């Protein structure tokens, strides 16, 4: 008789650092080795101090919404380490598989690692069950893992967006253990600004271009006002055949597209005059 597969219920609590400090993991062991913990009297204080010391990369404005043609997912591309911009080209929309996307907000390493891990689990599910995993299932897998690490300082605010047999799906999952099903979410330090544009322009019935443009404007406005957001706006669309990238624009250039510089009469005269004096 087959034993039911309980691997999804396994928790991955850390183990205190032993003599080998967890360096020699068994390469044949396909399950994850337990994460090592420092052997110190006050775990939370240690985490708070190392957080200040290493100043991990953090990512910042993402949004996603469902409309009648599927799901739109958009994000900026800036990562900051404290006040320093460590990168303007971060991929915050993570391709879990050809029909599911995840977004990154919060700690960059946390999001990258756990999304990669989720992609692995989704693929294993496909191989074990001969069918694709649903968005509900994928988000639950991630939420359960994050719940088991609740209180340890992970910082993840992610949205899982995809198209499965039930149609478009969108879930918000975070490191506090929350998992919410919804139609419209924006996550990150710039999310309040993005919500302003998104909520105002949202209608359920939109064409794909309109929806993409709404998402792009919402992220642009967030990058305009939030110092921790910037770089490029990437907009993806998830439809019944999977996701496609709709647009990728530098927000510096987008600014002048949305707000072209109006030349004053004097400047306009100078511009008009110059070709004849060349």
Chain residues that interact with other proteins, rule: CB under 8 A: 14, 17, 21-23, 27, 33, 35-41, 46-47, 49-50, 53-57, 77, 79, 81, 84, 86-91, 107-113, 152-154, 231-232, 234, 245-250
Q: Which is nearer to other proteins, 120 or 207 (CB)?
A: 120
Give the span between the Cα atoms of 126 and 176, in whole angstroms: 28
Which residue, 37 or 202, has its beta carbon nearer to other proteins? 37
CA-wise closest residue to 132 among 170, 89, 92, 98: 98
What's the CA gap between 2 and 126, in Å, rounded? 18
CB of 244 to other proteins, least distance (A): 10
Closer to other proteins by CB, 106 or 162: give it.
Answer: 106
Least distance CB 90 / other proteins (angstroms): 6
Residue 146 CB, nearest approach to other proteins (Å): 13
CB 159 within 8 A of CB 187: yes
CB closer to other proteins, 68 vs 176: 176
Q: What distances in angstroms separate CA 35 from CA 11, 17, 21, 143, 212, one per listed residue? A: 11, 9, 10, 18, 40
CB of 143 to other proteins, least distance (A): 18
**104 and 115 in contact (C-beta within 8 Å)?**
yes
CB of 27 to other proteins, least distance (A): 6
Distance in angstroms (rounded) separating the CA atoms of residues 7 and 31 = 9
> Catalytic annotation on 11?
no
80 close to 57: Cβ distance less than 8 angstroms: yes
Selecting among 60, 61, 103, 158, the annotated active-site residue is: 60
Comparison of 89 and 262: residue with beta carbon closer to other proteins: 89
Which sequence positions are flagged as catalytic? 60
């Amino acid at each position: 008789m087959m034993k039911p597969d309980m691997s999804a219920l396994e928790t991955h609590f850390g183990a205190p650092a032993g003599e080998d400090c967890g360096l020699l993991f068994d390469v044949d062991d396909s399950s994850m080795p337990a994460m090592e913990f420092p052997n110190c009297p006050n775990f939370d204080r240690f985490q708070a101090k190392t957080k200040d010391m290493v100043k991990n990369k953090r990512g910042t404005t993402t949004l996603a919404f469902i409309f009648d043609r599927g799901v739109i997912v958009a994000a900026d591309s800036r990562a900051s380490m404290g006040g320093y911009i460590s990168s303007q080209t971060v991929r915050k929309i993570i391709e879990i598989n050809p029909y599911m996307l995840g977004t990154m907000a919060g700690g960059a390493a946390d999001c990258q690692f756990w999304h990669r891990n989720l992609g692995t689990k989704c693929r294993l599910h496909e191989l074990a069950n001969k069918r694709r995993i649903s968005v509900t299932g994928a988000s639950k897998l991630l939420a359960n893992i994050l719940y088991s690490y609740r209180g340890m300082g992970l910082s993840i605010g992610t949205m899982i967006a995809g198209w499965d047999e039930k149609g478009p799906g969108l879930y918000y999952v975070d490191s506090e253990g929350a998992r919410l099903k919804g139609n419209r979410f924006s996550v990150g330090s710039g999310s309040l600004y993005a919500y302003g544009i998104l909520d105002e322009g949202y209608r359920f019935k939109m064409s794909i271009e309109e929806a993409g443009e709404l998402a792009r404007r919402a992220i642009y406005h967030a990058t305009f006002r939030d110092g921790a957001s910037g770089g490029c706006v990437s907009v993806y669309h998830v439809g019944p055949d999977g996701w496609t990238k709709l647009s990728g624009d530098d927000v510096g250039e987008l600014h002048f597209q949305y707000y072209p510089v109006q030349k004053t009469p004097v400047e306009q005269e100078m511009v008009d005059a110059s070709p004849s004096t060349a």
